[in-house]
Structure 1
């Protein structure tokens, strides 16, 4: 199963997104929070993100959704620290963190194809929230 990692500067935000996705998709999907720092502060931690990627990995691939700025940079650093076998199947999605995570989680329930899940997550940035 494709794993999903949600990276935010705030553990409360990433944990809340994971909770929402499990409620809206399925509870048994591999979606894991990597928010905040190990000591509970706001920020990001590349080593923590790397460990969460390894936990989310089942061999099929991992997609990462991150909030902004250093969460992207820390995710890139985490990917660089991974063994090549995991690194080559780990992707950071260019997507809004909430909508992209939810779209990816739902797509995981439909298809275990990394390309399909990547497409669903990135297309979430084009969703209309309000009709004109």
Structure 2
């Protein structure tokens, strides 16, 4: 899984929290692509590509974006012909924190890409009242 955020600090914090909530379960590959290459706020196609290639084990890569241009950056990479992203890369349509926790747990428990996507998208339904 790859977490794409406009902020390196946010992406790292969400990754850290997601991992901490696993308890004794070994985490699946996770990388972050936060901010720009120079440390600023924004998104970087280069960082997204590097992160996706880092976690790719041939079973698919789930990419969870925080908002706006992060989604557009990943969509543009997927639209290239051929796409520079790993062959089976999917954008996850889920809230950033809740989706990251769901993805981390589901993938760590051995869920395939479809199960990971479903778990993350179900996180949208968590009610807080």
- Report the TM-score, using the length of structure 1 for normalisation: 0.87
Residues 58-115 of structure 1 deviation map (CA, whole Å, 9 limit, x = unaligned): 11111011011100011122334426xx23x110011001000100111012233111
Q: Answer whether contact 1:22 1:29 (CA < 8 A) is retained.
A: no
Give the CA RMSD over aligned residues: 1.4
Inter-partner Cα distance in structure 2 for 1:73 and 1:49: 12
Return the match for 2:18 from 16, 21, 44: 21
Residues 45-68 of structure 1 deviation map (CA, whole Å, 9 limit, x = unaligned): 112101110111011111011011
The number of equivalent residue pairs is 124
- Report the TM-score, using the length of structure 2 for normalisation: 0.89
Q: Which portions of structure 1, spanning 4 or more consecutive aligned residues, are displaced by more than 4 angstroms?
A: none
Inter-partner Cα distance in structure 2 for 1:90 and 1:12: 24
How do residues 98-113 of structure 1 correspond to structure 2 at under 5 angstroms? 98-113=97-112
Return the match for 2:84 from 64, 78, 82: 82
Instruction: Point out where structure 2 has 5 or more consecutive residues left out of the alignment.
Output: none
